[in-house]
Structure 1
Amino acid sequence: MAAEERAVSADSEGISDQEMTARLIGSNIRCGARLIAMSLWHNDPAGTDVETLYQQVLSGWPPEAIGKAEMEIKLLSGMLVPVDEDNAADPDGSTEAESAETVTAEKPLPAS
C-alpha cells in the first residue's frame, strides 16, 4: 500500500484531476478490501490466508459494500469514534442551547 501511495504521488504532476480522483478511489477500495480480509482472517486464522481473502473481497464485493464494511470494522475496532446521529447535523447547536438563558414572555421586574 505504501508503494502504491508513492507511485500515485510521483505521477501526480502529469495527470488530470479526474485521473487522480480515479486512482485515489481505487486505492481506497483496495485498502478497504485489505482491511476486510485481515478482519475475516482474524476471525479464523486457521482458515484461508489473508491474500486469498483479499482477492475474494476485491473481486466479489461491490465497492459500496467494501466501504460500508470498512467503516464498520473501524468503528468496532476503535479506529473511528462513533458519531451520534442526533448531533451529527449540527455539532455546535447543542452547546448553544445549553448555554442560552431560558426565554419567557414576562417582562423583568424593575430593580427596587
Structure 2
Amino acid sequence: MFLKTQPLEYNGETITLYELSALQRIEFIGYIADVNKDVPADDTEVSPEVLNGIVTTINVKIGARIVAMSLWQKEGQKGPSVDQLQEEVLSGWPLPAIGQADFIVRELSGMLPVAPDAESNADTEPHSPEKPTPQP
C-alpha cells in the first residue's frame, strides 16, 4: 500500500489513520463544497449565534468525514461505507478526538495550508541576471 499511516492515541485507545488517496481528496473537496451550501450567503439573514451554530456543525461534519474516509482505507470495499463510518465517528467519538484525527489525516495527506515564510527556498541568495564568477 502506498498510503502513509499514523496512529492516533486517545483515552487509552489507539487507532491507525491513513492518508487519503488522490480520488478521496477530490471527493473530500466536493463534500466540503456541498456542505458549505448550508451557510447563508448573506450573514444578515441569521443572528451571529445561529450562524456560529451552523458553521460549528459543518466543521464537525467535515472533520468526521475526513476521519471516516481515512478509516475506510483499512476495510475498503469489504467494510462499511464512508457514510456509515462518518455516522460512527459522529456518534461515538468526542470532539477533541475528531479534531486530532482530522489534523493527522490532513497532515498525512498534504492538505494543511503552508505559511508563506515556511515555504522552502534552498537558494537564499538574491537572483541576478549576471552569471556567477567561478571561485578558485
TM-score (norm 1): 0.65
| Of 77, 84, 93, the match for 2:109 | 77
CA distance 1:74–1:28, shift in 2 (3 Å): same
Offset at residue 10 of structure 1 (A): 4.0
Offset at residue 13 of structure 1 (A): 2.5
Q: Distance in 2 between matches of 1:22 and 1:81?
A: 25
Q: Distance in 1 between matches of 2:35 and 2:79?
A: 28
Identity fraction in percent: 38
Computing the radius of gyration over CA atoms, which structure comes out larger, 1 or 2?
Answer: 1
- In structure 2, the partner of 1:107 is none
Q: Distance in 2 between matches of 1:64 and 1:21?
A: 18
Q: Distance in 2 between matches of 1:44 and 1:80?
A: 25
Greater strand fraction, Structure 1 or Structure 2:
2
- In structure 1, the partner of 2:58 is 27
Q: Distance in 2 between matches of 1:76 and 1:68?
A: 12
CA distance 1:80–1:19, shift in 2 (3 Å): same
Further displaced range: 49-58 or 13-22: 13-22
Unaligned runs of 5+ in 1: 84-90, 92-112
Greater relative contact order: 1 or 2 (C-alpha under 8 angstroms, separation 6 or more)? 2
Over the aligned positions, Cα root-mean-square deviation in angstroms equals 2.2
